[in-house]
Structure 1
Amino acid sequence: MKYGTISGLDKPVSRLVLGCADLKDTAVLDAAVDAGVNAFDTAHVYGGSEELLGRWLKGRDLDKLVIETKGCHPTPLRPDRVTPACLVKDVETSLRRLGVECIDLFLLHRDSHHAQAGELVETLNDLKKQGKLRAFGGSNWTAERIQEANDYAAAHDLEPFTVSSPHFGLACQIRDPWGGGAGCVTLTGADREGERAWYRESGTAVLAFSSLARGMLSGKISAADPKRADKLDAAGRRGYDCPENWERLRRAEVLAKEKGCTVAQLSLAWLFHQDMNAYAIFSTGNPARIAANCGALEVALTREECRWLNLEADGR
């Protein structure tokens, strides 16, 4: 395993982060730790995920683990929850569910055009001063909005956002996977080069969600399968089902065979070759896949291979 550092957090963070949105069995948590993974992604809206993770955490050395959770996600009855009041409420709820005194990384799950970035920065800093958060940032916040928050922090001698969790991976996100205008921000696509440059220059940590495109790049689907799209869930079809992404998968299959690695390892390796402080969130119910995916950190890619995989070049 390889580890990175996130400003505001005084412990290393594994480059692979286990996504716990659909957590049902703590065996995958044990397997993750055995493989060197020490970071876990959950959220206030992930049903029983926080509670199950919290039960597993009891009696463990929290100094060696990194727990990241998210709050302020809209609900059908409360479409705009990106407010200081909801932020405080969700932090308190997550602390109770997780059974911890302090959350390592707390992210605002969504953004809202009604939200005042400065008010949220003030509230996050208050929570940090109370010892309830170590570091914080945004999930599905654009670079522009994060910069707005950080400009406010700098002007008022406050702690800034140091981490962000957008979609990022080899497959481009072509539509909001969950529909309904939930505001799923991606760093993929030619029109996002400015945002990617911002992350490279700022060093802001990127916790990339859906790094394997809802299973499209996990190796369980072949680009040659005529019924390949049927093997994606509804969110996967909405977000990633397009000819360009199937061609990315085909090229990943070719190069993975040449390098003697899996498609998932190659796809994750591409993410780690993008000159960012990047961490890949991946989910699985199969403990064996965790150790296999960690092999991505040993796969070397040239710049030409990365460009070819991403359809930026015809040859390599």
Structure 2
Amino acid sequence: MRMCANWYRSQRLFLWALLLLKTERLSIFAARISRHAQRPCRAYHVAVCWQRHRALIHHPSEFSLTTYHYLGRSGLKVSRLALGTMMFGGPTDEATSHAIIARAKSQGINFIDTADVYQKGRTEEVVGRALQHDRHDWVLATKFANPLGAGPNRGGTSRKWIVEAVEGSLRRLGTDYIDLLYFHRADFDAPLGEAVRAIGDLIRAGKLRYFGVSNFRGWRIAEVAHLADAEGIDRPIASQPLYNLVNRTAEAEQLPAAAAYGLGVVSYSPLARGVLTAKYDNGVAPDPESRAARADKRLLETEWRPESIAIARQIRDYLAARGISPTDFAVAWVLNNQLITSAIAGPRTLEQWEGYVRALDYRITPEDEALVDRLVAAGHPSTPGFTDPGHPVEGRVPHVAAAPQAL
């Protein structure tokens, strides 16, 4: 009787799925469901498999401050916007930082993102003090691997540094556990297996709940997933790539790899470090309060490109007649990608934060998508041949110094 009920349940699930499937990839998945549903003993498992697959796909109609999605194939639910804190404790003073965090929580945001290197550790301290009375209401994410201080072992992904970095973050954040710990970057000179084993030990010790990767290429996402399987720990649940409409490089391999290996995607820099606000113009001195005027290193070596600035102005002109702000458009465009779970919004002021939130009210149209496709080819940056010097291409000179690892 139970097998029969499961068989009928899987048939209903299959018919429901057909109404939603709009891509060839998911149609293939539906065909697989149909074949397996003919075997009653597998019906329940097929239903679970479909639900887990669909959890990685997010529809534009689901934009809401109080809509939460599972992060990858985990049971952890996060808001569509994650509060990015890189400016806190630096350009954004502590009082303003706390006001932004309180406002975000009141609006339904439950996901906050920081890193050990932000403002040389001060950001984690500011965030920790803000969360001290409602820590358990937040999904708290931080990162390790970038250098923090002098010395050959004050960064990277060795077991020594991972343990020390986590202990330091716990101390600065004033908490006894981290919900989500990211590799901030790949360390090609260190064995990834050593890092995964260290992460596993910290999870078993109760200091971490989950882990993820940031700025990992597709093949590294695959490698870390296989190593986690080999170590008997859960795979990473999130990938954090740079992704915006003037740098679509992540579409080529990072986003598909994350989907294939069950990772949610928490993208960063939806405004291209401020370029997509259209506040800059080629040949015109930037506003004294802007990141460009402050000679922000990462902006100047990445998004500060004539092509990106020109595209931002074109989009601004396209939106002007409709009364839509470039910020609304840029953030909504990122969230319109069905493989994006959450987008990190990193404000400097409370006003900037409210601008990010307003973006959830805008719905990208087919005409909008067509415009972006004309301006920037899918899977490419706005500038032909551009490569972020912080994450160089390794296709000609071997970059891996450590011994190869079995998958």
Indicate the TM-score class for this superposition, using the shorter chain for normalisation. 0.7 to 0.9
Alignment pair present for 1:73 and 2:138: no
1:225 positional shift: 7.3
Deviation at 1:64, TM superposition (A): 2.1
What is the distance in 2 between the residues matched to 1:192 and 1:58? 38
Amino acid at match of 1:170: L
Any gaps of 5 or more consecutive residues in structure 2?
1-64, 378-407
Equivalent in the alignment of 2:23: none
Q: CA deviation at 1:194?
A: 2.8
1:210 aligns with 2:269: yes
Structure 1 residue 12 corresponds to structure 2 residue 12 = no
1:52 is aligned to 126
CA shift, 1:42, in A, is: 1.0
Match of 1:181 in 2: none
When residues 158 and 265 of structure 1 are mapped into structure 2, their CA distance, relative to the original with a 3 A threshold, is same
Unaligned runs of 5+ in 1: 173-187
Residue identity matched to 2:345: F
Work out whether residues 35 and 290 of structure 1, in 8 Å CA contact, stay in contact via their aligned partners in 2.
no
Distance 1:245 1:207 in 2: 22
**2:157 is the counterpart of 1:85:** no
**Deviations 1:169-220 (CA, angstroms, capped at 9, x unpaired):** 1222xxxxxxxxxxxxxxx33x85133332344442222222211111235x
User: Which secondary structure does the structure 2 equivalent of 1:237 belong to?
Assistant: helix
Distance in 2, matches of 1:78 and 1:278, equals 36
**Alpha-carbon deviations, 1:51-71, whole Å to 9, x = none?**
1111111121x3321111011
How far residue 133 of structure 1 moved from its aligned partner, in angstroms, is 1.0
Q: Which has the larger radius of gyration?
A: 2
Question: Which residue is equivalent to 1:236?
Answer: 299
| Matched residue, 2:100 | 28
Aligned residues: 295
1:103 aligns to 2:161 (yes or no): no
**Conservation of the 8 A alpha-carbon contact between 1:103 and 1:132:** yes
Q: Distance in 2 between matches of 1:132 and 1:74?
A: 21
| TM-score normalised by length of structure 2 | 0.66
Aligned-pair Cα RMSD in Å: 2.5
- Secondary structure of the corresponding residue to residue 240 of structure 1: coil
Hey, what's the Cα distance between the residues in 1 that align with 2:351 and 2:287?
25
Q: Structure 1 runs of 4+ off > 6 angstroms? A: none
Q: Report % sequence identity.
A: 28
Whole-Å Cα distance in 2 between the matches of residues 37 and 217 of structure 1? 23
Residue identity opposite 2:311 in structure 1:
R
Match of residue 257 from structure 1 = 320
Distance 2:172 2:287 in 1: 37
Asked whether the equivalents of residues 136 and 163 of structure 1 are also in contact (C-alpha less than 8 Å), the reply is yes
Using the TM superposition, give the Cα deviation of residue 229 of structure 1 relative to its aligned residue in structure 2, in angstroms. 9.1
Between 1:82-91 and 1:148-157, the stretch displaced more is 148-157
CA contact (8 A) 1:8 1:135 kept: no
Residues 212, 237 of structure 2: 8 Å contact kept:
yes
Task: Work out the CA distance in 1 between the residues paired with 2:342 and 2:246.
Answer: 16
Which residue does 2:109 correspond to in 1?
Answer: 37
Match of residue 287, structure 1, among 340, 350, 369: 350
The TM-score, its normalising length taken from structure 1, stands at 0.84
Name the CA distance, whole Å, in 1 between partners of 2:274 and 2:145: 27
Q: Amino acid of the residue matched to residue 151 of structure 1?
A: H
